[in-house]
Structure 1
């Protein structure tokens, strides 16, 4: 048991690094990148990172994994990025971040339907607490609701949550690494974003050294490394548990804004951070009691091969 607990703690910590790096996206975008190019930024984040990982892995999908990788790349990257940016532009005051904080609730529903993961009352309460905590952190008094923005934000959150659960459901092919799977998904999402970015935003902007540095960080650290850690965590933790870690992203963004950008941090925001972080811990604790980390055959849930992942107590 101590070894199992220690292993799970390390997996959670490593997986949590992904949303912590995603929290730096806002600061890097505003301080380093050209303005008003969200789709181009999403494209540069996804496609180069995917191609780099494909170059390292030197493995292409086979058989059904061509369409599975396309579906996962669309859910996790290709659809999620545009919906997220669209919501962010139409929902000032952090409303988009609050909608994104609902990912654990979406994931709990998808996991119940697709994975038969039981949803406890504590999980739901922790999910609602996470939304409340993030709302206290990011919402301003002038925040307003825009119907299209709300729909886009909710759809983006649902897309990423569905991608997390479907990644868990399908696992990965035998003898295929998480790095390879990350390359497939990022490349598929980037290929989807390429025509969308060109049609909506036109030709790429001129880039100086500062912008190139920012894009390199987003592609290599914020995306290639972060998504590898994220997908690795999905393979070893319950889908709902992984989604709770996403609450670390707005908390990280708030701390970076306070430390690096000189933004004020109010007592209400601090209270919200405590609530959101507490819900993250509760979410991990509830899932941990049901799902110790150990190796199980993927074939037991419709795949092939063997991978390290949790077994629900049933």
Structure 2
């Protein structure tokens, strides 16, 4: 990977890692479902007028928008609203890698390899340690909802696999047309018109910054740069960079929000990261080991 593209990868990982702190900041002034509606409205408009619609059937576009956009962020935003710390959210959400494996095996008949199972077992132990610490600056409901959000992300990944080759930027932009109305309906039901009006009337500059960051930096710029990297390099060379997202998420939450982990949560975070590393690199390590011994 060239130095320029390596820098682009680092920019994306930094943008996505800090994203969780920005969500927490945004939720201080805007309720979660309204935040989702505003985020995806800005992500769709005006970009949809300049980006061609992806060449995929409409049903798959809706499936992507309802799972990875609406489903993931509805659960994630509400999880963080009811007490999931930003740093731990960035970590627990990475369980999507294992939900993707499970859903791909169920719906696409893809094979789960031994390294995947070992990585899943290690990460599951780490998540159990993190979840057992509910009440230590984290609610169990927030933890559970973040796991559901990661499952929705995993389901969206399988939908993307089912589509085949597709322009990632156009997919993200056009799929962003789908969540705003469901988010707004959820906001009307759970947050009420009075709260929506009050939030919009008294919206702060910090909340506006958070919404703009989520829409433009985390969504449009992040996925545009990531799509360019995937187009230039094999996925196996690009995907491991995503392992840095929870590291940036945990570090930025500690520095900017003063979030601190208990020793048990630190141990759990280490196990989750170890499980992700085994999942990504385990197969190659085993192959090289057997090749060296022959």
Query: TM-score of the superposition, structure 2-length normalised?
Result: 0.72
Pair 1:81–1:233, CA change in 2 (3 A): farther
Alignment CA distance shift 1:99-1:263 (3 Å):
closer
* Alignment partner, residue 105 of structure 1: 98
**How does 1:115-264 map onto structure 2 within 5 Å?**
115-133=108-126, 140=133, 142=135, 145=140, 150=144, 152-172=145-165, 177-201=167-191, 202=193, 203-204=196-197, 205=199, 206-228=202-224, 237=235, 248-264=244-260
* Equivalent residue runs for 1:252-291 within 5 Å: 252-264=248-260, 268-286=264-282
Flag structure 1 segments of 5+ consecutive residues without an equivalent: 1-5, 291-314
- In structure 2, relative to structure 1, the CA distance for the partners of 1:193 and 1:109 (3 Å cut) is same
How many angstroms does 1:208 deviate by?
2.4
Do the aligned partners of residues 74 and 258 (structure 1) sit closer, same or farther apart at CA in structure 2, a change above 3 Å counting? same
User: Aligned ranges for residues 17-36 of structure 1 at < 5 Å?
Assistant: 21-31=15-25, 34-35=28-29
Cα distance per residue 1:262-312 (max 9 Å; x no partner): 33455555544443333333222246689xxxxxxxxxxxxxxxxxxxxxx
Q: Any idea what SS the aligned residue of 2:133 has?
A: coil
Distance 1:44 1:287 in 2: 41
The structural deviation recorded for 1:118 is 1.9
**CA distance, structure 2, for counterparts of residue 280 and residue 149 of structure 1:** 19
1:77 corresponds to: 69
Higher relative contact order (CA 8 A, sep 6+): 2
TM-score (norm 1): 0.68
CA distance in 2 between counterparts of 1:132 and 1:185 reads: 34
Is 1:55 the counterpart of 2:49 in the alignment?
yes
| Counterpart for residue 296 of structure 1 | none
More helix by share: 2
Further displaced range: 227-236 or 210-219: 227-236
Structure 2 unmatched ranges of 5 or more: 287-294
CA contact (8 A) 1:130 1:279 kept: yes
CA contact (8 A) 1:172 1:181 kept: no
